[in-house]
Amino acid sequence: MRKLPVKTHGIPLRGVQRVISLALLANEWESGLQFMVLVDSIGDAGILEQLVDGGLKNIVVCVPYHLDWHSHIMPTVACDTRALELHDVVVLNLEKQELLVVYRNSDMHHAIQLTNRCNSFCLMCSQPPTTHDDQWLIDEALLVAAHINDSPSAIGLSGGEPLLLGPRLREVIDAYATRLPSTRIEILTNGRLLADEVLATHLLTGISDKVSWLVPLYGHADFLHDFVVQSVGAFEQTIGGLLTLQSYGQAIQLRIVLIEPTLRVLPELCRFIGRNLPFVREVALMGCEPIGFALANRDACKTDLADWHAELIEAANALRRANVPYIFMNTPLCALPQSLWAHAHQSISDWKRSFREECSICVVKTNCSGLFSWHNHNWTPTVIKAIDGKACNEEVH
């Protein structure tokens, strides 16, 4: 998530805001929303003060540092305004004097975090869970939905574990489904709590058909999966949850993070999926993010995909034979055997993606997912090596 240092004046509470220009304000203003109006002249700021005088309570003015100005009658944020875009949805964190861009129209991928809590404890969790009550995140997510002024093709609802919201998850889903009518809503969940029929019935009965579920599966036997997620009983619950989702006709993407414990069993796991979960829309095979627990569990999580090409190919064969579509995510092309390039996606979110020097001479760079910006030279998915024109056939084009 993009973070921006700010200096605030007169802002009483953390809150969700829609970034907007003075010109657009009249057209979009409504009383229940909060607007952060970008201005770059004292004159425009004056017009805003007049609006505040006229009774508008829900606007914050946002000025570039160089104006070196703050209002005495309305809350003011000073920051590098060039880093903001119109219709960004931002959250001001007063404690840290920081502004978080939680939603940006122009991003390719959007995600909203519903909780920091989780009932699993995955070896490679990119975002280790906390145990604190964070209900406020739910309220904030509902506000974010209201502040988005667009209907992107897809938005992810993530955690932590969203199912820990219990029945309130449905409230969030409904809010996004109503606010963003043409948006696919993708819920990143371990699916465990869906094994609970009461909760499943509440969440899934009459749910919007725009929803799909992104559920990780790390093994074909309980002890394999449970080991990776570090929670006994998780496999059985996830399988039960997947079946429940299917019984409600929900679209499912299975996700497998490629770390040593999953790579070892990948072909057999994919055969298991083909035989037993043939209803999933697709399987995503995902490179591991070197962040969070993955750093602490380096032994299991840091792998060179080049060492696992045979497994990757066999796994892909198994899925192909079972007619289960599959994609590779977060895997630079130079980490994959060329026969799988056609299945690799440019999956890394804009703000997380980076390339190496090496990449500038690589002929497939435009089709490549690149690396996570937090990949460093000690940890890359493989030895990054530019693909030269000769080695590359038309397959990628």
Partner 1 sequence: MFFPFYARRLPDSHFLAVSRSGDYVFLGEEDLHKLTTAPQELELDRLAELQSKFFLGSPTRQGSLRLLASKLLAKRETILNGPSLHLIVLTLQCAHTCRYCQVSRSLGSLGHSMEPATLAAACEMIFESPSKSITVEFQGGDTLLRFDLIKFAIEKITERNLQEKRHLRFVVSSTLHQLDERMCDFFKQHNVYLSTSIDGPARLHNKNRPTPTRDSYERTINGINMARDLISPDVVSALMTTTRDSLLIPEEIVDEYVHLGFREIFLRPLSVYGFARRNFEHLGYSLSEFSLFYERAFEHILQINREGGDFREVMASVFLNKILSPFDGGFVDLQSPTGAGLAALAYNYDGFVYPSDEARMLAEMGDTSFRLGAIGETLDALLNSEVQQNLIRASTSPRIPGCDQCAYNSYCGPDPISAKNQAGDIFAAVHLTDHCRRNMWLFDFLFMKLHQQEKWFLDLAFQWANPTPEREFCCA
Partner 2 sequence: MKKFIKSLSLFIASIPLAAAKATAELPAGQDAVFESQLSDFNPVQLRPLNHGLDNLFAGHRSHSSHRSHSSHASHASHYSGSSGRGSYSVPAQDTTSSPSTTSPSEALPAAPSFSSEQPNKEIVSPRLDAPKPPLPSSQLTFEEKRRLQVMRVQIALIGLGLYAGTVDGEFNTDTQEALRSFQRLKRLPSSGLMTTDTLNALGIMAVQ
Please report, as ranges, the residues that interact with ligand SF4 according to CB under 6 A: 332-334, 355-356, 358-359, 362, 364-365, 368, 370, 384-387
Cα distances (Å, whole numbers) of residue 221 to 239, 263, 266, 301, 323? 10, 14, 12, 20, 22
106/135 with CB nearer partner 2? 135
Of 99, 148, 185, 224, the one binding partner 1 by CB under 8 A: 224
How far apart (Å, rounded) are the C-alpha atoms in residues 245 and 191?
9
Of 220, 255, 302, 353, the one binding partner 1 by CB under 8 A: 220
Binders of partner 2 among residues 141 to 180 (CB under 8 A) are 142-143, 145-146, 154, 156, 158-160, 164-166, 168, 175, 178-179
Binder of residue 384, out of partner 2, partner 1, ligand SF4, none (CB less than 5 to 8 A by kind): ligand SF4
29/248 with CB nearer partner 1? 248
Binder of residue 18, out of partner 2, partner 1, ligand SF4, none (CB less than 5 to 8 A by kind): none
Binder of residue 75, out of partner 1, ligand SF4, partner 2, none (CB less than 5 to 8 A by kind): none
**Chain centre to alpha carbon of residue 160:** 11
241/381 with CB nearer partner 1? 241
Contact 78, 60 (CB under 8 A): no
Binders of partner 2 among residues 286 to 315 (CB under 8 A) are 286, 289, 291-293, 295-297, 299-300
Contact 381, 362 (CB under 8 A): no
Among 154, 212, 142, which Cα is nearest to 183's? 154
- Count of residues engaged in binding partner 1, rule: CB under 8 A: 26
According to the binding rule CB under 8 A, does residue 231 interact with partner 1? no
How far apart (Å, rounded) are the C-alpha atoms in residues 223 and 250?
27
Give me the least distance between CB of 287 and partner 2, in Å please: 9
Give me the least distance between CB of 274 and partner 2, in Å please: 11
How far apart (Å, rounded) are the C-alpha atoms in residues 283 and 328?
9
Contact 176, 147 (CB under 8 A): no
Of 207, 349, 386, 392, the one binding partner 2 by CB under 8 A: 349
How far apart (Å, rounded) are the C-alpha atoms in residues 395 and 385?
18
DSSP string, 250-286: -EEEEEEEESHHHHHHHHHHHHHHHHH-TT-SEEEEE
DSSP string, 205-234: TT--TTEEEEEE---SSHHHHHHHHT-TTH
How far apart (Å, rounded) are the C-alpha atoms in residues 333 and 350?
17
Binder of residue 386, out of partner 2, partner 1, ligand SF4, none (CB less than 5 to 8 A by kind): ligand SF4
According to the binding rule CB under 8 A, does residue 240 interact with partner 1? yes
Binder of residue 355, out of partner 1, ligand SF4, partner 2, none (CB less than 5 to 8 A by kind): ligand SF4
29/69 with CB nearer partner 2? 29
**CB atoms closer than 10 angstroms to residue 160:** 24
The type of residue at 295 is L
Cα distances (Å, whole numbers) of residue 361 to 14, 357, 364, 369? 45, 8, 9, 15
According to the binding rule CB under 8 A, does residue 226 interact with partner 2? yes
Q: Which stretch binds partner 1 (CB under 8 A): 240-248, 327-335, 365-373, 380-388?
A: 240-248
Binder of residue 286, out of partner 1, ligand SF4, partner 2, none (CB less than 5 to 8 A by kind): partner 2
The size of the chain, in residues, is 397
Of 43, 223, 357, 397, the one binding partner 1 by CB under 8 A: 223
Binding site for partner 1 (CB under 8 A): 195, 219-224, 235-241, 243, 265, 268, 272, 274-276, 278, 317, 321-323
